[in-house]
Structure 1
């Protein structure tokens, strides 16, 4: 899905659309941030919801400088423009808050570019590997070896964790060894190795059988051997061969023996007994349900056979991924979060003043603008106006 042509095309179109919208909105914001309109008309300030006006006596230059100091103490950056007997002041702080939404859009674009890059050049595949095996990694110049695989269980028998001891072989040298488990992968040269599953390799399991002879010379022996292997019993003439094994015995709809799963839920072995070239008995033997074991023979069988244990080697299931776009995605996510923080918690604040010189002082008119939390900004605005009016 994520590497299909139509999906990558949708990502590209989404990124292109977001990019166009961002640049369309960004130009007036940059102009407003870099070159704000300092000179305004009185009616525009009076029309603002947050505005104020007062007269103050004193030296005009001192009044203006005192206002600049008060604004600086409140961390406002100011610009001014003189015209005849008027001074236009523009005070602003948290200017970066204007661009919160643009940072969000930029983060989305970077994430989409990462998705496109991952879809075009990324790889993801599964690898089944047994202990001691070494496998080359497709598309890479190194190999991976499974040194040991461990399955940990809870007291109730459920699987708790899988752990694989992996070694990276690069240029015929062991470069890196690490134990991986679920949510703790191994990374090497852009490839990430995840522990995803486990299973049993039943191609050549080891079986243990307890075989007892009947009659006056009773003997009891435990034999351990493999599927396809033949062993000779204590009478010196009878041989037993393990012919076939299934880990989860079931009779299918066609009345044939099959395995319900790859798990050893009902392990069973088909055994044949020979004396010379003559087969004297055969049957299925069950490890977990020995009473269901059946032996077919022409004559009474002189042996009692019980399947004690079956052991197959465990394999580790690895998911291997190379995702060159993941760094873009993390970077884009960080930029997106920065944009959200700016948009919600860093609102720009702006106050415009018109100082008109009079014979004995100045008339001060001011109006304030913000995008968030207007009540708190109103309190700050009124504090600045009171400080300016009192000359403190």
Structure 2
């Protein structure tokens, strides 16, 4: 017995680091712990608002809540954060190794039964669900606050087309309660209409793999409809040379360090309109907001991504539409291209009321894998649980 014990101990000491790591991955407890962590994180992600720009983007849209610590961890863009993606990959790898190892033991031991094989189907289907989630987070996107005022057209980020809101309406039941919100939209490519649809709750518009869901609705005050003049932005480095710029929303690039800020993106929480420009060479973004009642003022936020996927505000200030100033080692110059377009340009009569519609825009390339996985899990566990019952009844 002593020799056997020594032999086992020697084998354990002789294990390579790779074997130790593999043993941890094969352990069922590892998979259960990872599933619990992913589940809790996903629950948090459904309870707090999400935006590709994190808490900074939500705050600039007028959102009053939020926590800096959670933002540093990437919880306001949770499903695209690096740590969540890493968790999903590790969990998928753990379940794959564990399930494949068990399948080989079943097949080699000639212990294949309907119950065991159906359990394998359920486990491999879980892997499909995880792969669908990973592909969706990697290749897809979700914009929770894609809002437009009637008559407004917006470029859809990461695509080559625009969406125009032709009409937004709120319909009521006979008792006066709200029945539904409707957004009559037109998809534009190169300025030409290619598709029209009335979006309502649970009836989205789908185009080129991108889905538009009805999310919110509000009336626009007359003051909020006032026009805002475009502002020219010129950015140069410490050597005086122009820096390349990228529009955060349209992904349009400018190599000459100059772009036109249209402030045509509206907010779901306030009357603010904003433009965002990225400086790839400097690894930060310029977030700029204006309100129609103070057209000559711009609230400027310098935002830098954190290593954990969150956002950090380096500094913020209020500037005029004709100011020149420095941000870090970068020179910024603003020029109001139509200073007369502001409060003085408002007609004396009140404009007819308009409505603002908030849409959720999402592209989910891994969704089909998720659905196939759910069907596989349902089928696998149904067979595994019910087969013994029907088998026992058949014997009786």
Q: TM-score range by the shorter chain?
A: 0.3 to 0.5
Structure (1/2) with the larger strand percentage: 1
Which of structures 1 and 2 has the larger relative contact order (alpha carbons within 8 angstroms, sep 6+)?
1
Structure with higher Rg: it is: 1
* TM norm structure 2: 0.45
Larger helix percent:
2
